Chain A
Amino acid sequence: MKNIPFLPALLAVACLCGPSPLPAQSEAAKPAAVYFAAYRTPRHMRYSKPEVFHETVSGVVEYLETYRVQIVQDPVRKRIETSDLIPVATLVNIAREAGASSVLLLTLDRPLTKWVKITLEAYDLSGALLWKETVDEGGGLSGKGGVKKALGKLEKRLGPRLGQPGLEQAPASEEKPVASGQ
Chain B
Amino acid sequence: MKRLAEIALLGAMLAGAGCPGLKAQQDTLPVAGQADARNAQPLVRLQEGAEVRLALAQKVTGRAAVVGEPVELVLAEDLRAGDALVVRKGARVLGTIIEGKATEKKRGQPKHLRIRVDFIKAGDTRIMLRGEQEAAGKRNKKAMVAGSVALGVSGLLLTMGKKYEIPVGTPVTAYVGQDVDLAPLE
Contact = CB atoms under 8 A, between A and B. Distances in A.
B65 interface: yes
Nearest to A86: B58
A4 interface: yes
A6 B8 contact: yes
Interface string A74-86: 0011100011111
Contacts of B145: none
Interface in B56-90: 57-61, 63-65, 69-70, 72, 74, 90
A94 B19 contact: no
Interface stretch (B20-28, B35-43, B149-157): B20-28
B121 A4 contact: no
Contacts of A18: 19, 21-22, 24-25
B13 interface: yes
A97 interface: yes
Given A13-B16, A94-B92, A84 B59 contact: yes
B24 A21 contact: yes
B5 A5 contact: yes
A49 B104 CA distance: 9
Contact of A87 (B2, B24, B58, B104): B58
Nearest to B126: A76
A10 interface: yes
B63 A17 contact: no
B104 A50 contact: yes
Of B61, B64, B74, B105, chain A has the most CB atoms within 10 Å of the CB of: B64
Contact of B121 (A5, A82, A84, A97): A97
B59 A19 contact: no
Given A87-B57, A87-B168, A93-B74, A9 B21 contact: no
Contacts of B185: none
Given A50-B105, A86-B57, A9 B72 contact: no
Interface in A79-132: 82-87, 90, 93-94, 97
B92 A13 contact: no
A42 B64 CA distance: 9
B63 A90 contact: no
B94 interface: yes
Of B2, B58, B63, B121, chain A has the most CB atoms within 10 Å of the CB of: B58
A64 B185 CA distance: 38
A78 B94 CA distance: 12
B183 interface: no
Interface string A8-46: 011001001111110000000000000000000010011
Given A86-B57, A90-B57, A6 B9 contact: yes
B15 interface: yes
B102 interface: no
A2 B168 contact: no
A178 interface: no
20 contacts: A4-B5, A10-B12, A13-B12, A13-B13, A16-B19, A18-B19, A18-B24, A20-B21, A42-B63, A45-B63, A45-B64, A49-B105, A50-B104, A76-B70, A82-B64, A84-B59, A85-B58, A87-B168, A93-B57, A97-B121
